[in-house]
A and B are shown apart, each in its own frame.
Chain A
Amino acid sequence: GAVVSQHPSRVICKSGTSVKIECRSLDFQATTMFWYRQFPKQSLMLMATSNEGSKATYEQGVEKDKFLINHASLTLSTLTVTSAHPEDSSFYICSASRDRGAYGYTFGSGTRLTVV
């Protein structure tokens, strides 16, 4: 149980375009999902908390207009990187929990975004 699917696994886009990343909880409902960014050989940096039916909560320093998060249903959250620039190139990971994290969070397999 507790499977989180993330797509796409890899994406290459041109500067100035937008890219959407999907995160789905396959066998449970997730009222809250989290989005992380990870640079090579570094830790996971929490970007935002995605709340079903309400606005996302962004961490300090994260541009909410660049990283649009939508949590339209209890099983789907999307992260859209708008007007992408090469510095947005990174590894993005989502996570969710069926029990508010008490028993741990399940992570998606991540998305490697390359902006050229």
Chain B
Amino acid sequence: AQTVTQSQPEMSVQEAETVTLSCTYDTSESDYYLFWYKQPPSRQMILVIRQEAYKQQNATENRFSVNFQKAAKSFSLKISDSQLGDAAMYFCAYRGETNKLIFGTGTLLAVQP
């Protein structure tokens, strides 16, 4: 079975600084997708970024980028120029051949002004 691990329950970053959230996963599948979702206090799940496993190039979306290391099964999220609105719970997620989305335990990010 696939598993997703986020080893940082909480992280803190100063406004305008950069922070990296860690995620590792375990799978025997070759075709899969990885995602980072953001859940602010409203609890609405928001897609931040996605990565296709067959692509070597790391995905980027404005201030958000990932470091995808397929051999190491690592998928970290880098947030540059952190803003107060980035404060939220961040979930790493895996979507494999069953099409189910499997979530990590989450990292609560605080942004200090």
Q: Which residues of A contact B (CB under 8 A)?
A: 32, 34, 38, 41-44, 46, 49, 91, 93, 95, 97, 100-107, 109-110
**Whole-angstrom distance between the alpha carbons of A52 and B44 in the complex?**
24
Interface size of B in residues (CB-CB distance below 8 Å): 20
Contact check, A104 vs B47: say whether CB atoms are below 8 A apart. yes
Contact check, A102 vs B44: say whether CB atoms are below 8 A apart. no
Closest to A97 in B: B99
A sample of 27 inter-chain contacts (CB < 8 A) reads: A34-B100, A42-B105, A42-B106, A43-B104, A44-B91, A44-B103, A46-B101, A49-B100, A91-B43, A93-B45, A95-B45, A95-B101, A97-B99, A100-B99, A101-B33, A101-B95, A101-B99, A101-B101, A102-B52, A102-B95, A103-B50, A104-B35, A104-B47, A105-B47, A105-B95, A105-B101, A107-B45
Distance between B81 CB and nearest chain A CB, rounded to angstroms = 23
Closest to A45 in B: B103
Distance between A81 CB and nearest chain B CB, rounded to angstroms = 18
Q: Which residues of B contact A (CB under 8 A)?
A: 33, 35, 42-45, 47, 50, 52, 91, 95, 99-106, 108
Main secondary structure of the interface of B (DSSP, over half): strand
Contact check, B102 vs A46: say whether CB atoms are below 8 A apart. yes
Contact check, A46 vs B44: say whether CB atoms are below 8 A apart. no
**7 smallest A-B Cβ distances: which pairs?**
A107-B45, A104-B47, A101-B95, A43-B103, A44-B103, A101-B99, A43-B105
**Whole-angstrom distance between the alpha carbons of A85 and B45 in the complex?**
27
- Contacts A100-B99, A101-B95, A104-B50 known; list 8 others, CB within 8 Å: A41-B108, A101-B33, A104-B33, A104-B35, A105-B101, A109-B44, A110-B43, A110-B44
Residues in B whose Cβ lies below 8 Å from that of A49: 100
